[in-house]
C-alpha cells in the first residue's frame, strides 16, 4: 500500500488538472491519493470522477491557510463537509485575501521596473480558485523575467523580498475546531518546514491535540532526518497520527515527486477511523474516500 496524502492540482498552485493528477498518481504506483489544494475543494469533483477508473482511492482534502502566533501554518483538512457554513465563510475570506494581494504584488513588481499586468497573472492562474504567489511566479517566467518559480520566490516573492505581500489567514485553533465540526480531521502540514521549530513546539502541538487535531505531517521534504525523528516522537507522545506525503505541485516544485514520502498504512487506517468518528459526531454529510 502506497499512500500520499498531500498534493496540489490546478485548482490551486499545482500544474496538473485534478483528473490528470489522479492518473499520474496511479502511474506512480500510488494506492491512495490525498488531494489537498490550498483553500478550495473545487478540484474534488473532477478528481473523484477520475479515481475509480484510475484505480486510486481518493481522499478529498484541503490545505487551509491559517496563522498561529503571527506565523503562517498550513492545516491539512481531510474529508470535511465542504458546505459547512463556518468553513465556507473562512475559506471565502482566505480566497478574497489571496485575490486582493495579487494587485499589491504587481504594483511592487512594477515599481521595480517589471512590466507585469493582472492579465499576465490571470493567464498563468488559468481556472485556479486559489490564486497564489506561484501564479505570479509563473507569469514572471512567461515574461522571461526569471527562469522558474524558485528564482521568482528567491528574488521577489518570499517573505522579506521586495514584492512580498501578506494576506488573511484563519486562526489555527479555530480552524481545527471548524474542521472537526464539519466532520473531518485535521493534520498540521510540514510543521517544522524551513527549519522553524518554535511556532509549533511540543507544548503547542499538545494544545492543538486537545482542540481536536488528529495528526502531524512528519515525512515531508522540508523536514530533515532529525526533524522527522523528533516529530515522530512527539506524534507518539501525544497520540497523534504521523503522516508522510510529497506535497506534489506537478512541475511547479522540484523534488516533490508523487510518492517521494508516504504514509504508513496503519497510521492511515487510524486517520480514517478518526475521520469516521468525526463525521458521525458532527452530524454533517462528510464525504467518504472514493475509488476502488
Ligand atoms: P501563497 O499560497 O501565495 O502564500 O504561496 C505559497 C506557495 O508557494 C506554497 O504553497 C508553495 O507551494 C509555493 N512555493 C513557496 N516557495 C516556493 C519555491 N521556492 N518554489 C516553488 N514554489 C514555492
Ligand atoms: Fe502550494
Ligand atoms: Fe504547505
Ligand atoms: Zn501543500
Pocket test for ligand 1, best of 130, 134, 251 (most atoms within 8 A of CB): 134
**Residue 65: predicted pLDDT:** 98
150 C-beta closer than 6 A to ligand 1: yes
Task: Look at residue 213 and tell me whether its pLDDT is greater than 90.
Answer: yes
The torsion defined by the Cα of 145, 147, 149 and 155, in degrees rounded to 10, comes to -60
Q: How far is CA 281 from CA 46, 80, 277, in A?
A: 28, 12, 6
Whether ligand 1 lies within 6 angstroms of the CB of 132 is answered as yes
pLDDT at 292: 87
Give the pLDDT mean for 215-232. Answer: 98
Residues of the chain with pLDDT > 70, as a percent, come to 100
Q: Is the dihedral of CA 147, 153, 157, 161 positive or negative?
A: negative
Ligand 1 atom closest to the Cα of residue 101 is 3
- Res. 252: pLDDT tops 70: yes
Grid cell, residue 116, equals 507585469
215 has a pLDDT exceeding 80 = yes
Question: If you measure from the C-alpha of residue 256 to the centroid of ligand 4, how many angstroms do you get, rounded to a whole number?
Answer: 10
- Could you tell me if the CB of 74 is within 6 A of ligand 1? no
Length of the chain: 292
Check residue 3 and give its pLDDT. Answer: 98
Q: What is the mean pLDDT of residues 20-33?
A: 98
Nearest residue (by CA) to ligand 1, atom 16, is 153
- Compute the mean pLDDT over every residue in the chain, rounded to the nearest whole number: 97
Counting residues of the chain whose pLDDT is more than 90, the rounded percentage is 98
Decide if 3-91+168-282 and 95-157 have a common fold.
no
Q: Cα of 38 to ligand 3 centre, how many Å?
A: 8
Q: Is the minimum distance from the CB of 268 to ligand 1 under 6 angstroms? A: no
Beta-carbon count within 10 A of 180 CB: 22
Q: What is the mean pLDDT of residues 84-93?
A: 98
Closest atom of ligand 1 to 158 CA is 16
Pocket test of ligand 1: the residue of 6, 7, 10, 13 to mutate, having most ligand atoms within 8 Å of its CB, is: 13
Cell matching residue 143? 515574461
Q: Residue 179: its pLDDT value, please?
A: 98
Instruction: Please compute the mean of the pLDDT values over residues 90-103 and round it to a whole number.
Output: 98
pTM across the whole model = 0.98
From CA 71, how far away is CA 33, in angstroms rounded?
28
Q: Whose atoms come closest to the Cα of 130: which ligand?
A: 1
| Residue-range domain boundaries for the chain | 3-91+168-282, 95-157
Q: 187-212, pLDDT tens digit by residue?
A: 999 999 976 899 999 999 999 999 99
Residue-wise pLDDT tens digits, 39-51: 999 999 999 999 9
Q: Convert the pLDDT of each residue in 159-173 to its tens digit.
A: 999 999 999 999 999
The domain 95-157 is classified under which CATH number: 3.60.140.10, 1.10.150.650, 3.40.50.700, 2.40.37.10?
1.10.150.650
- What number does CATH give the domain 3-91+168-282? 3.20.20.140
- Residue 195's pLDDT is 63
In ligand 1, which atom is closest to the CA atom of 154? 19
Look at residue 265 and give its three-state secondary structure: helix
Give me the mean pLDDT over the 267-287 stretch. Answer: 98
Compute the average pLDDT of residues 172-184.
98
What pLDDT, in 10s, does the model give residues 127-149?
Answer: 999 999 999 999 999 999 999 99
Q: How many CB atoms lie within 10 A of CB 251?
A: 11
pLDDT tens-digit profile of 102-123? 999 999 999 999 999 999 999 9
> Closest residue (by CA) to atom 9 of ligand 1?
134
Amino acid at each position: 500500500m502506497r499512500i500520499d496524502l498531500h498534493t496540489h492540482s490546478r485548482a490551486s498552485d499545482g500544474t496538473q488538472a485534478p483528473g490528470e493528477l489522479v492518473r499520474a498518481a496511479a502511474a506512480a504506483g500510488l494506492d491512495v491519493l490525498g488531494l489537498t489544494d490550498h483553500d478550495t475543494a473545487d478540484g474534488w469533483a473532477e478528481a473523484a470522477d477520475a479515481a475509480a477508473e484510475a484505480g486510486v482511492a481518493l481522499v478529498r482534502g484541503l490545505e487551509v491557510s491559517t496563522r498561529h502566533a503571527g506565523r503562517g501554518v498550513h492545516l491539512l483538512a481531510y474529508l470535511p463537509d465542504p458546505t459547512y457554513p463556518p468553513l465556507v465563510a473562512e475559506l471565502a475570506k482566505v480566497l478574497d485575501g489571496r485575490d486582493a494581494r495579487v494587485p499589491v504584488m504587481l504594483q511592487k513588481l512594477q515599481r521595480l521596473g517589471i512590466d507585469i499586468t493582472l492579465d499576465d497573472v490571470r493567464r498563468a492562474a488559468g481556472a485556479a480558485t486559489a490564486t497564489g504567489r506561484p501564479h505570479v511566479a509563473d507569469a514572471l517566467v512567461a515574461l522571461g523575467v526569471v527562469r522558474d518559480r524558485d528564482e521568482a520566490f528567491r528574488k521577489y516573492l518570499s517573505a522579506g523580498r521586495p514584492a512580498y505581500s501578506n494576506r488573511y489567514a484563519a486562526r489555527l485553533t479555530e480552524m481545527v475546531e471548524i474542521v472537526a465540526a464539519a466532520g473531518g480531521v485535521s493534520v498540521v502540514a510540514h510543521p517544522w518546514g524551513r527549519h522553524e521549530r518554535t511556532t509549533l513546539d511540543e507544548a503547542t502541538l499538545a494544545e492543538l491535540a486537545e482542540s481536536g487535531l488528529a495528526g502531524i505531517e512528519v515525512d515531508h521534504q522540508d523536514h530533515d532526518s532529525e526533524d522527522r525523528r523528533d516529530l515522530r516522537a512527539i506524534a507518539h507522545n501525544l497520540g497523534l497520527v504521523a503522516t508522510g506525503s510529497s506535497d506534489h505541485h506537478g512541475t511547479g516544485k522540484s523534488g516533490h515527486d508523487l510518492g517521494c514520502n508516504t504514509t504508513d498504512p496503519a497510521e492511515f487506517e487510524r486517520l480514517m477511523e478518526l475521520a469516521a468518528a468525526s463525521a458521525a459526531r458532527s452530524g454533517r454529510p462528510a464525504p467518504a474516500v472514493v475509488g476502488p
